[in-house]
Chains A and B, each alone.
Chain A
């Protein structure tokens, strides 16, 4: 590399308590380069990105950057109650005298969005936006600062396939203009498609460096997991029988509403819901979980699930939801694994003994989840907020699949987690199916649906617009239906 690097990290180390998150890492990113940083959950990638950005102080090592450094977070760092333009221009608002020049601010943001091909409404309030759009706002905020180095931490975790393509067109254009780009990701297809170099981390150390043109996805994956990727569990033949029936479901208003969706899921079957985010998937999961009002008919095993039923009653019927936002909707981050694994079952024996929670039973549940899902660290008393995203998700999925549930709604169950953990989650979902559970898999990633589903529905505009048996899956046709054509 003739050109001096835009970002140079040398000998970076960082410990959190007894855990070594990053251990003597050297890495550099050249101007105009797209450099992929890959690794399993808890490998130290996000910590390294935060160190490069300056948000976390390393215990040892040096950081050199030529120009400003921008970071797009895995967990969004947006001010939910402010508008899009206010978030993007925060602290650098164009002024007219003492006041903010709103029309110019809107124009600046609109122009920025157009230039990068990332359509957003500058006046939308951030908390009303779906995850995928928030991601765009986050990216635009960093782009507005014209950074010399751009760090992207799991940038496509929440994006629909078409959005991912558009996103990488933007990233490539940025690189061509000389921005140095370090992208932290789990998705090997993106690494192979868009990066120039790949650095692989495992347990805080760099274990391999490749030129993308000279390697393969399989070789990178082997370096990441330190062995062969575990194969998905085989799907056993099951005798499907009707389990969940949804008829003419309606919920919500405006964007993201459900407008008359009908579908069914059988016991011993995984049914995928393919669709671009914001087409009613969130309300579908919430209606089944009993956390939003709706009209229409839901029935489990032929028995109606009335709209007034509480989430507790749905849980008692054997319905388990793996929510989209694990940190907010599924976990108590300040609690340990034992208490989190108990959540949702705290009223059922054997966990409940009279008025008391039996911590010994909860401890056994936790040990079981830790073992079946290879949670790291394997300590039931570990505080969940301190685990990596993938290990948090293992706790959520493990809890949902414990105790032979009747119906599992898995909403983006592998969002932002690495290949090894995602494969494990997929295998466990198939095992639950083989054991007779009905599984409704809602995902914005078609590959995930194609890997797991026995049958696929396509959701668009709050309705089911297509249905495909596994044998008849037609990628092009599904893509067209998802786009509303």
Chain B
């Protein structure tokens, strides 16, 4: 609890400290810059809906990342898992001849399976050959993005279109809109429910217990009958499935087609979200909302206060460095 509070304070200090310095260097008053950012993110109903949309897009991969981190697995492959999940949704949503009530769940499950296979592959490589999951997931990211780029530029390209993207999904494959007149879909409550479910899994289930034991004390876990290899595989597969599901909700709820621009790095920002939330789902939800504000307010800040939106990218990167670095140092001390 104290660690959570401290991490949150560090994150806030980075956001306002670094943000202010960057704005001052650009001769903009931080008060004006942040006012534009918050106004752009929370000023009215449609802006709030956009912020919640960003929150949702970050929440899925952040929950996946947290699941893996709790098992001691540094999954930085959420970006590739999002892309594969999104691509699966974009392709199957057009191709499957199913009625609406069946189409949406089928496509969501298939997308989760695709992301899960990608995460599970890294888990398998670790369990079977001892391959470092950081390296494996990082390389699998590149493979996923390039593979998707190839598919939408070739086999699945929308006939006649100039841009490399899949055809538009039929409306039967769209996620229902939650607030009319906005793009906020049922993916938001789905993500919240998933957060609650993962919290329950961590605290109450045998699987969550074994996963945390494997992460905190692998040697003791092994001697207590926990199969570390199988835990690594299952956890990475689940982690990838959650990120893949997130990719599908962007395609089915927002873009209604797949292109490789579906994620402006959600899979990486999710690492910061998960760490700011101290890997505990309730706090991750709050952290995702905070980063959602940054993401959606960035454009308004650029337009109204003339602060480049790259400042937000800079802030997000430094939050990752501050928190991941601190966590890494703490683990080195404990070892």
Contacts and interface: CB of A to CB of B under 8 A. Distances in A.
B67 to A, nearest CB: 16
Contact of B225 (A315, A332, A335): A315
Contacts of B212: 332
Contact of A330 (B205, B209, B216, B223): B223
B220 A332 contact: yes
A356 interface: yes
A25 interface: no
A263 B314 CA distance: 65
B209 A342 contact: yes
Given A333-B217, A335-B216, A357-B206, A310 B224 contact: no
Contacts of A333: 216-217
Interface in B191-212: 204-207, 209-210, 212
Contact of A355 (B207, B221, B223): B207
A329 B210 CA distance: 15
Given A329-B223, A344-B224, A355 B217 contact: no
Contact of A346 (B216, B224, B227): B224
A289 interface: yes
Nearest to A321: B223
B327 interface: no
Interface string A310-343: 1111111000010100001111111100010011
B326 interface: no
Contacts of A312: 225-227
B222 interface: yes
B206 A343 contact: no
Contacts of A289: 223
B224 to A, nearest CB: 4
Contacts of B216: 332-335
Interface string B233-247: 000000000000000
A291 B223 contact: yes
B304 interface: no
A291 B204 CA distance: 27
B285 interface: no
A209 interface: no
B219 interface: yes
B206 A310 contact: no
B248 interface: no
A331 B222 contact: no
Contacts of B213: 332, 343
Interface residues of A, number: 30
B219 A355 contact: no
Contacts of B226: 312
A449 to B, nearest CB: 23
A343 B224 CA distance: 6
Q: Name the residue in A329, A343, A355 with the highest tally of chain B Cβ atoms < 10 Å from its Cβ.
A: A343
A357 B205 contact: yes
A116 interface: no
A73 interface: no
Contacts of B207: 355
Contact of A357 (B209, B219, B223): B209
Nearest to B207: A355
Contact of B227 (A310, A342, A343, A359): A310
A343 B220 contact: yes
A339 B203 CA distance: 11
Nearest to B224: A344
Contacts of A321: 223
B85 to A, nearest CB: 25
Interface string B308-327: 00000000000000000000
A187 B167 CA distance: 79
Contact of B220 (A314, A331, A342): A331
A346 B223 contact: no
A357 B217 contact: no
A332 B217 CA distance: 5
Contacts of A291: 222-223
B333 to A, nearest CB: 12
A314 B227 CA distance: 13
Interface in A281-330: 289, 291, 310-316, 321, 323, 328-330
A264 interface: no
Contacts of A311: 222-225
A347 interface: yes
A347 B225 contact: yes
B206 A346 contact: yes
B206 A356 contact: yes
Nearest to A396: B220
Contacts of B221: 332, 343
Contact of A323 (B206, B209, B223, B227): B223
A79 to B, nearest CB: 11
A152 to B, nearest CB: 24
Interface string A341-370: 011101100001001110100000000000
A147 B206 CA distance: 51
A352 B206 contact: yes
Contacts of A310: 225, 227
Q: Name the residue in B204, B212, B223 with the highest tally of chain A Cβ atoms < 10 Å from its Cβ.
A: B223
B205 A355 contact: yes
A131 B209 CA distance: 31
Interface in B144-184: none
A148 B206 CA distance: 53
A332 to B, nearest CB: 4
A459 to B, nearest CB: 21
Nearest to B208: A357
A176 to B, nearest CB: 39
14 contacts: A289-B223, A315-B225, A323-B223, A330-B220, A332-B220, A333-B216, A342-B209, A343-B220, A343-B221, A346-B210, A352-B206, A356-B206, A357-B205, A357-B206
Interface of A: 289, 291, 310-316, 321, 323, 328-335, 339, 342-344, 346-347, 352, 355-357, 359
Given A329-B219, A357-B205, 19 more contacts: A310-B225, A311-B223, A311-B225, A312-B225, A328-B219, A328-B220, A329-B220, A330-B220, A330-B223, A332-B212, A332-B213, A333-B216, A333-B217, A335-B216, A339-B209, A344-B223, A346-B210, A357-B204, A357-B206
Closest 8 CB pairs of A and B: A312-B225, A344-B224, A332-B217, A343-B224, A311-B225, A315-B225, A332-B216, A355-B205
